[in-house]
Amino acid sequence: MEKKISATIIGSGNVGSQLAKLFFKKGISIDAIYNKHKASGISLAKAVNSIYISEKNRIPNNSTFYLVALKDDYYLEILKGMDLTEKLIIHTSGSLESKKINPFSKRWGCLYPMQTLIKNDNINWKEVAFYIEASNNEDEKLIGSVCKKLEFNFSKVNSDQRKKLHISAVSTNNFTYHLLSTIKSFCEENDLNYEDLKFLLQKSIDNSFEKEAFSMQTGPASRKDLKLIENHLNLLENDSNLKEIYELFSKQILKKHHDHEL
């Protein structure tokens, strides 16, 4: 008979909410939801047939594991005062050094989803890459068994590898949003249709995974067309943000493809 798994969720933000609801859906009972903000905590507790608590001394002591899903700055602050010695504490951070949980419990683990999770979004979980880590073999097996129950695509990595994965994810996701937001503003200011770039963008992303990204690089910098680069920079004279990005990227492409300084 399969051993019953239960969890206490600490944090009812985007990641905590998404994972708590998935746990509940897949048969992992939620013993309690701890959150500093009452409305969010109560709402999630109702959704997963659990209870909301705001006092650290009311944390259940019999959960299989304690999932802590918080902003990186808050982990150590929130865990202070919780009696979780010898309990399995699993964090979800991409950048937290897992051993920092040692003062609160020698049993620690990580379940890091390399994906932006928004509370009420529909997620295709089979497409999300998860990375796990644990302080001992038994808890690593336990986290792995939870991942299998949830049908996750998961790999084992250490904290150093995960931090580098997180840098890659931030660069891929957050920087792309900023770049596209800047380009969208430029299009709107110049009466251009931003939507016309959609197919070009999608094709570029597909090419970067199907082929070698370096060899697929096109454009004036890859051709060492310095005159065209200069013309573009002149046209961007009134858009300092996009000009700065354009110049930075052009410099790096020229350096990488031609060992040339702009």
Q: Per-residue pLDDT tens for 9-35? A: 999 999 999 999 999 999 999 999 999
Identity of the amino acid at 252: Q
What is 164-258's CATH number? 1.10.1040.20
**Domain locations in the chain as residue ranges:** 6-157, 164-258
Strand partners, 53: 34
Tell me the whole-structure pTM to 2 decimals. Answer: 0.91
**Average pLDDT, whole number, for the chain?**
95
Q: CA geometry: angle at 161 spanning 157 and 164, to 5°?
A: 140
Residues 54/41, Cβ–Cβ less than 8 Å: yes
Q: Per-residue pLDDT tens for 180-225? A: 999 999 999 999 999 999 999 999 999 999 999 889 999 999 999 9
Q: Which CATH class is domain 6-157?
A: alpha beta
CB-based contacts of 218: which residues, under 8 Å, 6+ apart? Answer: none
Residue 2: pLDDT band with limits 50, 70, 90: low
